[in-house]
Amino acid sequence: MGDARPIGLFDSGVGGLTVLREVVRRLPDESTIYLGDNARAPYGTRSDDEVRRFSAECLDELVRRDVKAIVVACNTSTSVALPQLRRRYDVPIVGVVRPGATAAALATRTRRVGVIATPATIRSHAYFQAIKDENPFVEVYEHATPDFVPLVEAGRLHGADVDEAVRRGLAPLLGERTADGEWIFPLPADARIDTLLLGCTHYPLIVDSIRGATGEGVAVIDSALATASVLAELLAINELRAPAGSTPSHLQLTTGDVERFRATATLLFGSEFTAVEAVIVPEAA
């Protein structure tokens, strides 16, 4: 029979659209409803209590729309609120931390992984623990980059100012380049990372600047693809896949500015996803 109900995806803003993009590619028959809490972004500088409350209010909205599964496509919410959210709802919920950690643990050759994320995600040490669960011998270097999400939410995805902000943000983890392009690392030679995990779904939207800062030899890991694969397995196990050949529908909701949100969505999806609506959740009213 199959289940034609939509998959719900939630993020603090536009970052989770990178996860939505991979879900649509991986599961082309599935309908989706995406909710971005842009009015209260970024979550990464909020208190843990605020993150839990805001996340629950947004998932309440998705559950009211009868979604069959939910992807918490926000690393901060996954890190801080996921256990509470799973207890609150009788709906399968997938986070983004575990899939990303697994991908990073598999990608590293030297067993040295750097993680960049929001202050709240880094404070939780969720990625540190998840990577250690996958491979306890991997050295994990965590670093908060609070300036990246506001850039993305403002629609500033390219340009010299973004490159400079990324270079400054990553310098404590990667070091600085000399005039001839050689790296000066603040870490000892035997602690240089070969893998950088993007611990925030906003960050893939500025991945060109990030790759420019890391240079060659550092694998940059985006958890979106791994999360889409985990979601596909969850739907199959729970017999929630949409019927083959279904005609999917896609709706985006935002608590913030609709036109700004649509502009970012258009960069990722072209004219495919134009159904963007405003939604008000209690605390954003």
Whether 5 and 31 have beta carbons less than 8 Å apart is answered as yes
Whether 1 and 209 have beta carbons less than 8 Å apart is answered as no
Whether 15 and 7 have beta carbons less than 8 Å apart is answered as no
Q: Is 189 exposed, middle or buried (0-12, 13-18, 19+ CB in 10 A)?
A: exposed
Can you give the CATH number for the domain in which 210 is found? 3.40.50.1860
- Do 51 and 104 sit in the same domain of this protein? no
Average pLDDT score over residue span 252-273: 90
- Do 131 and 157 sit in the same domain of this protein? yes
- Do 33 and 19 sit in the same domain of this protein? yes
**Domain end (from 223, 253, 268):** 223
Task: Render the burial of 115-145: b for 16+ CB within 10 Å, e for the rest.
Answer: bbbbebbbbbebbbebbbeebeebbbbbbbb
**What confidence tens digit (pLDDT) does each residue in 135-179 have?**
999 999 999 999 999 999 999 999 999 999 999 999 888 877 666
Name the pairing type of β-strands 69-72 and 276-278: unpaired
Please tell me the total count of domains within the chain: 2
**Structural domain harbouring 241:** 7-95+225-284
- Do 74 and 187 sit in the same domain of this protein? no
Active site members: 74, 200
Q: What is the pLDDT of residue 187?
A: 62
Q: Residues near 268 by Cβ (< 8 Å), separated by ≥ 6? A: 17, 18, 21
- Do 48 and 91 sit in the same domain of this protein? yes
* Position 186 confidence tier, pLDDT thresholds 50, 70, 90: low
- Do 72 and 140 sit in the same domain of this protein? no
Could you say which DSSP state residue 241 is in? P
**What backbone phi and psi angles, to 5 degrees, belong to 34?**
-110, 135
Mean pLDDT, the chain, whole residue set: 92
Q: How many helices (H) and strands (E) does the chain have?
A: 11, 12
Q: Is 38 domain-assigned? A: yes
- Do 157 and 79 sit in the same domain of this protein? no
**Domain end (from 223, 243, 265):** 223
- Do 219 and 107 sit in the same domain of this protein? yes
Q: Residues near 73 by Cβ (< 8 Å), separated by ≥ 6? A: 9, 10, 11, 15, 16, 18, 19, 20, 96, 201, 224, 227
